[in-house]
């Protein structure tokens, strides 16, 4: 039982940044943009959050810096892919490469190549729910985890039951029709990028300001790509994205536990599983996959 409790607690810790990033990517993809900048956006957000928190001594300033970084990078993605109408995947990759380069370059400038990475004196504290019950070890999590959990129903509602969500979906499905209906396609896409970018920034902040209290080179380590897979796994719906992130968190937590107990198992197989499942899902769904119809397509007004 202790094993299961510890496993579930670890699952939530691992799943939080993935869930946040995947929710952000969901919004952005629903508006018609595949943002491959996600991996670099998380890393640079984690970095800027760490630096600001370290220099100012305020975690809240650090958190704000991380959110702002996420938003700025996604707005930059918008400049390239929405305003200029550039190839989305190449632009996204460019942002990932640039943001990662900037983070690592600046980190080296500020802290040198010291072998002991600097860490924050204080990182965000954990918030225990269900105190004194058997559930306490599961729900001793950082505040950001609870925010992420709350965001699942909120974003689901926002996307499906508000006019904001309707606008967002319509520019991702049929931008021409949305334009004729009087929507500003560009601006709606920017709105999705801003909200999504804040979520990616929050994911980065979770890594550096809560979980680790430090910044390291391989901190994001493919979590952005996992998030992209999970968006597909979750069929572009926040509730199903939640299950996808949960499954990934669980597999990863299981892998760590088994490894810690010295059980010889190619744990990489568990790590690769979410990717393989996603590809199988795509293959099974095939032509019927419910991609946002305008994903990867830049919208150009006639004559513009």
Partner 1 sequence: MLRLERGSAPLWLRALLPIAAVLITFLLVSLAIWAAGANPLDVFYEMLIKPLSKRTSRLEILVQATPLILTGVAVTYAFAAGYYNIGAEGQLYAGALMGALVGPKLTSVPAFFAIIVMLLAGFLGGVLWALIPALLKVRLKVDEVVTTLLLNSVIVFFISALLNGVWRDPISGWPRSPAIAESAQFPSIISRSRVHLGFILAVLALLSLWWVLKRTRFGLELRASGLGKEAARFMGVPVAKTMLTAALISGGIAGLAGVSEVAGVHYYLIDGLSPGYGYTGIIVATFGGLQALGVAIAGLFLALVDTGALSASRALGIPAYLGDIVQATLLIVTLAVLLLNRYRIVRSKPMRKAP
SS3 226: helix
Stretch that binds partner 1, among 7-15, 85-93, 136-144, 186-194 (CB under 8 A): 85-93
* Residue 291 within binding range of partner 1, rule CB under 8 A: yes
Q: State in angstroms the smallest separation of the CB of 42 from partner 1.
A: 15
The residue (of 6 and 104) whose beta carbon lies closer to partner 1 is: 104
Cβ contact 9:137 at 8 Å: yes
CA torsion sign, 83 to 94 to 52 to 206?
positive
Stretch that binds partner 1, among 55-63, 92-100, 123-131, 244-252 (CB under 8 A): 92-100
* Residue 282 within binding range of partner 1, rule CB under 8 A: yes
Per CB under 8 A, the list member of 35, 54, 100, 211 interacting with partner 1 is 100
* Residue 172 within binding range of partner 1, rule CB under 8 A: no
The residue (of 127 and 269) whose beta carbon lies closer to partner 1 is: 269
* Residue 65 within binding range of partner 1, rule CB under 8 A: no
Short-list 230, 208, 238, 220, CA closest to 275: 230
Give me 132's structure tokens: 């004194």
# chain residues binding partner 1, by CB under 8 A: 45
Cβ contact 40:96 at 8 Å: yes
Short-list 38, 35, 51, CA closest to 104: 51
What does the CA dihedral 283, 284, 285, 288 come to, rounded to 10 degrees?
A: 90
Backbone angles phi, psi at 214, to 5 degrees: -160, 175
Give me 38's structure tokens: 């996600």
- Residues forming contacts to partner 1 in the complex (CB under 8 A) are 34, 36, 80, 84-87, 89-91, 93-95, 97-98, 100-102, 104-106, 108-109, 222, 225, 228-229, 232, 266-269, 271-272, 275-276, 278-279, 282-283, 286-287, 289, 291, 296
């Amino acid at each position: 039982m202790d094993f299961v409790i510890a496993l579930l607690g670890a699952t939530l810790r691992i799943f939080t940044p993935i869930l946040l990033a995947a929710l952000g990517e969901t919004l952005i993809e629903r508006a018609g943009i595949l943002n491959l900048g996600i991996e670099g956006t998380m890393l640079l957000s984690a970095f800027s959050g760490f630096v600001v928190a370290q220099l100012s001594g305020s975690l809240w300033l650090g958190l704000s810096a991380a959110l702002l970084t996420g938003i700025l990078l996604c707005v930059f993605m918008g400049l390239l892919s929405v305003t200029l109408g550039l190839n989305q995947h190449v632009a996204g990759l460019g942002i990932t490469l640039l943001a990662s380069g900037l983070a690592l370059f600046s980190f080296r400038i500020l802290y040198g190549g010291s072998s002991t990475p600097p860490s924050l004196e204080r990182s965000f504290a954990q918030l225990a729910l269900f105190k004194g019950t058997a559930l306490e070890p599961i729900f001793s999590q950082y505040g950001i985890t609870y925010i992420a959990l709350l965001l699942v129903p909120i974003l689901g509602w926002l996307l499906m039951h508000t006019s904001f969500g309707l606008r967002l979906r319509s520019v991702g499905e049929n931008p021409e029709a949305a334009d004729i209906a009087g929507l500003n396609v560009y601006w709606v896409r920017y709105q999705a990028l801003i909200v999504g970018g804040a979520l990616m920034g929050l994911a980065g902040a979770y890594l550096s300001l809560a979980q680790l209290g430090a910044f390291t080179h391989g901190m994001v380590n493919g979590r952005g790509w996992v998030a992209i897979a999970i968006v597909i796994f979750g069929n572009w719906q926040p509730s199903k994205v939640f299950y996808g992130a949960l499954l990934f968190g669980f597999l990863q937590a299981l892998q760590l536990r088994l490894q810690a107990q010295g059980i010889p198992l190619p744990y990489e197989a568990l790590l690769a599983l979410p990717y393989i499942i996603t590809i199988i899902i795509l293959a099974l769904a095939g032509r019927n996959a419910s991609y946002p119809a305008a994903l990867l397509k830049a919208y150009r007004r006639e004559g513009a």
